[in-house]
C-alpha cells in the first residue's frame, strides 16, 4: 500500500501517477439512484424516511453540497457519467428509447443509444486490468451493438430499457424490460431492488481478489410506484399514498446499499474501495414520472434546468485515502470517470477529451482552486450555466434567461439580470461559446407530461 506521504505526492498532480505493480489498486463502485429527490436522504435533510446505510457513506466520506448532473433526466446523465464527457458533444441529449414521436419523426431506433464513437470508463478500466460489471438499469440503447458487454463491461445483470416493474410477473416499463444475465433473459422471483443487491454482492464476492469496477444502477425510486410488504409496513404513518410508497421503495434501496457495504466489510475490501453514490437527476415532482420525491429547498423538478432538476445528492467514500468532509464547491457527475481513472493509475490521453476532472487533489486539500470554472447545460431549448455562485437559466417556465445568485437565493426566486447586466452578458457569452462546440441532438426529445 502507498503510505500517506506517497499518496499526497500523487494527489498533488491533476492525475495520479501509475501505481507500483505490488500496490493493490482500489476497487471502484458507482451506485446510481433513479429519480431520487434532493431532500430524500437523511444526510441531506430527510426526516420521514430513514436511510442509515447511505448516510453512513456521507458520514465516513465526502458529502457534496453543490453536486450536479449534466442532464435533467435519465439516459443523457448516464451517457455523461460513463464517458466523462458532456453528452451533448455526441448527440445523446435526450432519452434513448424509441417513442411514438421519435418514430413519426423518421428516427431510426437502430442508432438510438450511446454512440459507438464514445469510449466508456469501463472500457478504459478494463484495458487497465480491471474486472468490469454492471448491475441494474442500462438505458443507453437496447440494440446488440449498444449492449453493456459491447461497451467495456464483462458482466451484465439487469434490464436494457428505461423502467420496468419491480415484480417479475409484470413487464410494465419503457424500452426493453426483461431481466437479462449478459445476453440471456432469466426467470426471477422477489422484489427487483433486493435482487439487484444480491447480484451486486455476488459480483464483489467473485472479484474480491481483482481490482474491479462495479456500476450499480438501481431503477429505484423511478415509477412504477411498487413496494414490497417488507418495506411498506414501515411507513403506514405517512398520510400521502404516493409518498408512502416512495418511502418504502427508498428504504429498500437503502437496505440494498447496506447489503453491498456488508459484503465489502466481510471481504475486508471497504477501506480499499472508492464508492460514489448519487442520483441521475432531481426528483420528478411535476412531470416525467412523478413519484412523491422532494427537492426542498430547490426550485423545479426532473426535466428542468432549475436546481431541482440538475442538483443531486452525491457522496464519495474512500476510507484509505480521504477523510470525512463536506465539500461545497460545484462538482458534476462527469468527474466520476476522471476520478476513477486517476485512482486506478490510468494515464489520460489528450484524445479522450474528458470534460470531468479528477476530484482527489481537491478533496485531499492539495488543490486549492475550484474544480470547474463553469458548468453548462443544454436540454433542447432549455439551458443553464453556473460560474461560482452565479447561474443563468432558461427552462419550462421562463421564456427568457434569468440570473440568480445561488449562495443568497438557492430557490432561484430573485432574477438579478437587470441589476447585474454585465455579469449576465458575460455568462451568456460563455454559454454561447460552449454551445457552439456541440452537435445537434441525434434524436428528438420524447413526449412529456406538461408541468403541473
pLDDT at 170: 74
Length of the chain: 452
CA–CA separation, 61 and 80 (whole Å)? 24
Task: For the sheet with 180-181, list strands across it.
Answer: 184-185, 180-181, 155-159, 131-137, 212-217, 27-33, 273-279, 314-317, 62-64, 325-327
CATH number at residue 317: 3.40.720.10
Over residues 228-246, mean pLDDT = 96
Over residues 324-342, mean pLDDT = 98
- For the cut 70, the answer to whether the pLDDT of residue 102 exceeds it is no
Over residues 6-27, mean pLDDT = 49
Cβ–Cβ under 8 Å, residues 329 and 403: no
451 domain-assigned: no
Tell me, yes or no, whether 368 and 393 share the same domain. Answer: no
448 domain-assigned: no
Over residues 282-293, mean pLDDT = 96
Range of weakest confidence among 2-16, 266-280, 420-434: 2-16
pLDDT at 350: 87
Across-strand partners of 181? 157, 184
Over residues 60-70, mean pLDDT = 98
Tell me, yes or no, whether 224 and 354 share the same domain. Answer: yes
Q: Which residues of 282-320 are buried (b: 16+ CB within 10 A; e: fewer)?
A: bbbbbbbbbbbbbbbebbbbbbbbbbbbbbbbbbbbbee
- Residue 428 CA to its chain's centroid (Å): 27
Catalytic residue among 139, 147, 372, 382: 139
Which of the four pLDDT bands, split at 50, 70 and 90, describes residue 23?
low
Cβ–Cβ under 8 Å, residues 396 and 308: no
Tell me, yes or no, whether 106 and 247 share the same domain. Answer: yes
Category of 97 on φ-ψ map: left (φ > 0), alpha (ψ -120 to 50) or beta: beta
- pLDDT tens digits, 425-447: 999 999 999 999 999 999 888 76
**What's the DSSP call for residue 76?**
H
206 sits in which H/E element? helix 192-206
Range of weakest confidence among 59-73, 114-128, 345-359: 345-359
Residue 68, CA atoms < 13 Å, CB-side half-sphere: 27
pLDDT at 169: 83
Which of the four pLDDT bands, split at 50, 70 and 90, describes residue 111?
confident
- pLDDT tens digits, 129-138: 999 999 999 9
Tell me, yes or no, whether 57 and 162 share the same domain. Answer: yes
Q: Which residues of 71-88 are buried (b: 16+ CB within 10 A; e: fewer)?
A: bbbbbbbbbbbbbbbbbb
Over residues 107-114, mean pLDDT = 84
Over residues 268-279, mean pLDDT = 98
- Round the CA-based radius of gyration of the chain to a whole number and report it: 21
CA–CA separation, 197 and 103 (whole Å)? 36
Total domains present in the chain? 2
398 domain-assigned: yes
- For the cut 70, the answer to whether the pLDDT of residue 413 exceeds it is yes
Tell me, yes or no, whether 183 and 265 share the same domain. Answer: yes
218 domain-assigned: yes
Query: How much of the chain, in percent, has pLDDT values that exceed 90?
Result: 85
Tell me, yes or no, whether 304 and 316 share the same domain. Answer: yes
447 domain-assigned: no
Tell me, yes or no, whether 313 and 401 share the same domain. Answer: no
Tell me, yes or no, whether 341 and 420 share the same domain. Answer: no
Range of weakest confidence among 23-27, 398-402, 423-427: 23-27
pLDDT at 404: 98
Composition of the chain by helix, strand, coil, percent to 5: 30, 15, 50
CA atoms 233, 198, 82, 109: torsion sign = negative
CATH number at residue 387: 3.30.1120.10
Domain with 225 in it: 4-372
449 domain-assigned: no
**Which residue spans within 160-272 are E strands per DSSP?**
180-181, 184-185, 212-217
What is the residue whose three cell numbers read 468527474?
Answer: 335
Which of the four pLDDT bands, split at 50, 70 and 90, describes residue 110?
confident
383 domain-assigned: yes
Which of the four pLDDT bands, split at 50, 70 and 90, describes residue 11?
very low
pLDDT at 449: 53
Among residues 322, 343, 372, the one where a domain terminates is 372
CA–CA separation, 358 and 334 (whole Å)? 10
Q: Mark whether 139 is an active-site residue.
A: yes
- For the cut 50, the answer to whether the pLDDT of residue 2 exceeds it is no
pLDDT at 67: 98
274 domain-assigned: yes
pLDDT at 451: 55
Tell me, yes or no, whether 379 and 354 share the same domain. Answer: no
Tell me, yes or no, whether 40 and 176 share the same domain. Answer: yes
pLDDT at 101: 65
Tell me, yes or no, whether 118 and 203 share the same domain. Answer: yes
Catalytic residue among 46, 53, 74, 207: 74
Tell me, yes or no, whether 366 and 393 share the same domain. Answer: no
Cβ–Cβ under 8 Å, residues 124 and 157: no
Amino acid at each position: 500500500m502507498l503510505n500517506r506521504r506517497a499518496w499526497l505526492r500523487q494527489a498533488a498532480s491533476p492525475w495520479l501517477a501509475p501505481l507500483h505493480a505490488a500496490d493493490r489498486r482500489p476497487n471502484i463502485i458507482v451506485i446510481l439512484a433513479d429519480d431520487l429527490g434532493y431532500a430524500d436522504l437523511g444526510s441531506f435533510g430527510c426526516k420521514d424516511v430513514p436511510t442509515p446505510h447511505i448516510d453512513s457513506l456521507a458520514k465516513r466520506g465526502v458529502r457534496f453540497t453543490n453536486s450536479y448532473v449534466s442532464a435533467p433526466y435519465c439516459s443523457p446523465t448516464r451517457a455523461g457519467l460513463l464517458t466523462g464527457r458532456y453528452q451533448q458533444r455526441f448527440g445523446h441529449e435526450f432519452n434513448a428509447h424509441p417513442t411514438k414521436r421519435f418514430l413519426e419523426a423518421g428516427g431510426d431506433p437502430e442508432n438510438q443509444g450511446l454512440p459507438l464513437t464514445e469510449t466508456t470508463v469501463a472500457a478504459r478500466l478494463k484495458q487497465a486490468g480491471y474486472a468490469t460489471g454492471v448491475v441494474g438499469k442500462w438505458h443507453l440503447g437496447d440494440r446488440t451493438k449498444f449492449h453493456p458487454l459491447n461497451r467495456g463491461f464483462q458482466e451484465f445483470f439487469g434490464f436494457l430499457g428505461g423502467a420496468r416493474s419491480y415484480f417479475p410477473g409484470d413487464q410494465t416499463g419503457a424500452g426493453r424490460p426483461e431481466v437479462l444475465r449478459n445476453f440471456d433473459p432469466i426467470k426471477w422471483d422477489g422484489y427487483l431492488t433486493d435482487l439487484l443487491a444480491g447480484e451486486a454482492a455476488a459480483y464483489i464476492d467473485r472479484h474480491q481478489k481483482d481490482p474491479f469496477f462495479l456500476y450499480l444502477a438501481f431503477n429505484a425510486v423511478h415509477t412504477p410506484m411498487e413496494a414490497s410488504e417488507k418495506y411498506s409496513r414501515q411507513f403506514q404513518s405517512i398520510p400521502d399514498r404516493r409518498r408512502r410508497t416512495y418511502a418504502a421503495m427508498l428504504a429498500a434501496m437503502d437496505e440494498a446499499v447496506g447489503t453491498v457495504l456488508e459484503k465489502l466489510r466481510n471481504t475486508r475490501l471497504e477501506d480499499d474501495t472508492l464508492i460514489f453514490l448519487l442520483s441521475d437527476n432531481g426528483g420528478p415532482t411535476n412531470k416525467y414520472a412523478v413519484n412523491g420525491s422532494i427537492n426542498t429547498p430547490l426550485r423545479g423538478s426532473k426535466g428542468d434546468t432549475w436546481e431541482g432538476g440538475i442538483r443531486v445528492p452525491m457522496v464519495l467514500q474512500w476510507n484509505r485515502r480521504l477523510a470525512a468532509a463536506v465539500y461545497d464547491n460545484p462538482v458534476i457527475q462527469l468527474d466520476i470517470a476522471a476520478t476513477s481513472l486517476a485512482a486506478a493509475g490510468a494515464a489520460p490521453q489528450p484524445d479522450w477529451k474528458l470534460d470531468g476532472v479528477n476530484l482527489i487533489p481537491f478533496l485531499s486539500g492539495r488543490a486549492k482552486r475550484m474544480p470547474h470554472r463553469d458548468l453548462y447545460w443544454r436540454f433542447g431549448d432549455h439551458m443553464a450555466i453556473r460560474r461560482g455562485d452565479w447561474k443563468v437559466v432558461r427552462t419550462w417556465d421562463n421564456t427568457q434567461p434569468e440570473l440568480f445568485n445561488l449562495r443568497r437565493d438557492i430557490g432561484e426566486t430573485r432574477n438579478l439580470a437587470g441589476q447585474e447586466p454585465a455579469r449576465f452578458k458575460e455568462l451568456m457569452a460563455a454559454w454561447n461559446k460552449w454551445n457552439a462546440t456541440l452537435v445537434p441532438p441525434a434524436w428528438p426529445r420524447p413526449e412529456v407530461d406538461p408541468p403541473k
